[in-house]
Structure 1
Amino acid sequence: MILNELVLHNVGTFAGRHVIDLTPPSADKPIVLIGGLNGAGKTTFLESIQLALYGSLAQGTGRRAGGYENYLRGLVHRGVPVSEGAAIELTFTAHQEGEEHRYTLRRSWKSAGASIRELLLVSVDGRYDQSLTSTWSEHVETFLPRGIAGLFFFDGEQIEALADMDRSRQVLSSALAALLGLDLVERLSTDLTVLKRRHRGEKVPDGLRQSVEEKNQLLTASRQAEEAAVQAEAGRRTEMERRQKVLHEATEAYRAAGGDLLDRRESAEAAAGIVRSGLAQCEEHIRHELSGASPLLQLDGLLDQLGGQVRREADAERNALMVEAFEARDTAVLQELRGTNVETATVVAVEQFLRGDREGRRVVADAEEIIGFRDPSGLEAVLANLPEARKRLQSAVDRREELKAELDQAERVLAAIPDPEALAPLRQQREDARDAFLRAEATHAVALEVVASARAGRAKASTAYEAALDKAASVNLAADDDRRLVEHVERVRATLEDLRIAAARRHLKRISQLILEALGMLLRKDNLITDVQIDPETHEVSLTGANGRPLPAKDLSAGERQLLAVALLWGLARASGQPLPVVIDTPLGRLDGSHREHLLERYFPNASHQVVLLSTDTEIDEEAFARVSPHTGRTYHLEFDAGANATRVETGYFWEK
């Protein structure tokens, strides 16, 4: 599968229509690098691909808390009426039954009163396919199943979360279920549990029904408490997102007032000093050129006349000497001819020719002497060097003009740098907004803990309710076939669990080996990890160190744990056997220099046949770009225009413009 093109129309910060070509130009340049500062639309780019593919079934993000319609409404660019709406077009190439087809998805939405109207159109090889449009949510599973989409579309925050081994077990569990088809087993087991519960509930006699009802009421109360905790957590999350928005606006206000310029004062002054130095050197070079023959360039026409006069005087002197020499010679030649048998007419003709030659030379020799140069070679040399002198002087003058323009620009930048005291209120406002966001974030974390506690209480109440049902069923089952049904349900559930563990154990050895190979390529310490094992029941990851002893994940550095998370994603993606593109938002996280180099040089070029990286200028900086550029086929830059409140898509990364 190849992502060929993404079109964003009034989506997020992208006002109007923006077309981004994502097709790698060659197999040895699989990387498509998209740069942008925070708030420029990188996350919107990643979410747009998933939204185009899965619609309301796309993996939820922090911006999906208010429901799918609110999410779509929030994706419409703020400068566009919701009634006009927004649209995403995704074109990709995939193989079906051995043939290559080009698919185009166009998902658009706009306001229709109080609701949002969404429209999906699917085209295959340029032709609209109504049948495929109506069944796309099932058909997309043949290209990129939702259960493994997280292995190919992820961001830096997801990598940091996976670095927590407790959370990685959840990801491994869901990924393995999707890869091995075990999600069907889990759904079947759940259906059997529901069947058993319904059957047992119907068979509880009056004497035991009251106990079961009490446990059911406790379960209902615990569910209500869980729902209340979830709602409270959603409110805290909304407040945290509001505070985050205020922080973003305060940061943008500080930046718009020149805060970024103030932070870069030293570099701007250094740049201006370099330009001034270059301008002084250029002017010194011009003075050096003017000390030579360059001033003669002002006498361009006079020099040509001077050269002509010098040549005429030289010819006159030369011909005067020749006339004197030729007179004696011509007289001797004529005497010799007359003393021979040569015809008189011939002698007369020769005499006339020689006389005419001397007269012609005498006319040239009579030219007026003005300059008086005896040797014109010096003047000729000066005139011959003037074109090169003109070229050098013109180049120096042009360079001086360029440097003056650069100096003017640098001085304008310095002049635009505001006074630190003038920005003090905005800086304080930004700090206050950051403190408020951190407090809201802490409150949201407490709300998450309350949700976890409420879920634990609900699970405990559910267990008690199940136990009451089991007790009632074991005492009151009247019919043998009913009893056999319950027993068989338990046996089938046990068999399904054994099947799940056996299937996982069968494939986990290969998956563990793929993860170990990925770790070997990513970690800078050779033999730091010599073995990786995944428990088929708990999906806990166990590491073995170089000494053959267990290596707790907590003993790894933060960067090494993040590389372990990347290795888990890489290994699972390779185990899927699906030739799918990889899209990574903020890929480098908080990795140190050495670990960043391993991702740049070993992971990104080999992660897939197509790798789309969404990065800031501090993640993939100029040095990192130099490392990854040999494998980069296309580069873009998302430039946010605060005045227009919109993002432009420009060709070239930060340092290619």
Structure 2
Amino acid sequence: MVEPPRTEQDPDGWWREWIARTFLPPHLAPFFLFDGEAASAYAERDMGAQVKEGIDGLLGLVWLRRLAQSLRDYAANRRGQVAKGPDAATIVRLEAEVKQLEAEVAGAEERLKEIETELAGLESERLTLTRKLAGSGGRTRAELEDLIRAKADAERDLEKVRDKLSSLADGALPFSLVGGALRARLIDRLAKEARREQWLASAEETRARAETVLATAANAFACVAPPLTEGQHAQVREAIRGALETLWNPPPQDVAEDFRHEHATGRLREAVRARLEDAASITAGTVADILEQEARLASALRKFNAEIDAAEGTGGGLEGDRERLEELQRRIAALSREEGEKRAIVSSRGEDLRQKRAELARLTETLDQTKRPARLAKRAEQIALMLDNLLRDARPLQSQAIAEEMTRAIGAMAHKKDLFRRVDITADGEVRLLGPGGQNLRDYDLAAGEKQVFTQALFAAVAAVSQRVFPLVIDTPLGRLDEEHRIGVLRFLAERPSQVILISTDTEVVGPYLDAVRDRVADAWLLRNVTEGDSGRSWVERGYFPGQGLSP
């Protein structure tokens, strides 16, 4: 019998940990237990962000981030117990800057979680209203649904174009405006400073080894006859030191005479150089093309609005639904913009944070290492930096496995198999759906069902790569899928090696859809409900929807 030890102070916590370790960690639960309608809304989100969340859940990276932060808090506490040396002011300043940046990144990440939750609810409500409005008005249901979907697509495309313009303005555009000559001078200067940094490091290493060389020479001088006087010994030592210095002095001609950009070192310097080089590709035509796209999409959006207004009429209830849909569109657009801004903050502040943490770790080594707190602070900072590098490199390590599983899943579920070849995830997390000619199908407008198939494939890929044998539970699994996609998804789910529990309405896994997986159905239950006064009660009983041939 499994039970917590009698001395356990937190039995509930012990059980949670045991379940997570034995069956399924909490960060993987969303990929085994999810709502099909929520997946429909999730399918509208950025594919790269979806994959990032999937890999983070797969690897449990949130725990590594918490561990790294705990180590830094521990190191800061230990540094405070050591008498400060000549770098005291710099250490105090860096600690304050790191703390501020950590607060900004944590605040942005927390807001991103809130935005994601709110967007999922709003997008689900928008989907419900879109379906409702699509069945009204003078046009056919299909025509109005196409108009509403086209409008939503145009709004998303318009937001993407505006985000692209904003990103350009915040990124390479300012550098492109300063002119090629100034950019070239700065790139050259940064390259020379990088070489100076290498030269100084090599010179310092040589000086550190000089004493070893002198000690070896001194042993050799002991055999000289007649013996050298102390003065002669000193002269020889100085001559050797001078000879060693000539290895690195004078400095090479292509080395900067000093550092003008001390804040830009290592990875940050290379990032600045890459940004400057990217700016060369930005021209007036680039900006003009983006502005032309914005104008064209805005015009198309006005046209869709006019056609939808004409098709829907001005009925009271219908008009209220339409106004609510417009309100939802505005709120979703505003949240999407804020989401982009917060992701930009996490990205830019994250790079600054990594640089300052590295500098703080370097200065930690200047503390009096004869003191135990200083040694502990140094070790904690080193381990935290190692975890930072692991977090940065972890996603690419799993990207290939995720891409391969997604390719298999999409190939099984999609009905346009001739248009799809494989999923490719780049080093920076971009997701590409490649067609027969290598073209990225994401550059084209994917239908709602195709987007949902992508999301289902991601869930399946994370579950497969995790190698966890755990039941897959899906509520309303088929969402907005058309007939062929529904059958493909059901057959794919039926091939899973572990148990699959589908919670279906009486219009989903019935008729031909049930026939597609009937031979894999082990049991069926009905969820009954009755309302009694102001309360209700529910229960399950063996059986299935009438006429489906799954009677108890």
Structure label with greater radius of gyration: 1
Q: TM-score scaled to structure 1, two decimals? A: 0.42
Alignment TM-score, normalising by the size of structure 2: 0.48
- Please identify which structure carries the higher strand content: 1
| Higher helix residue share | 2
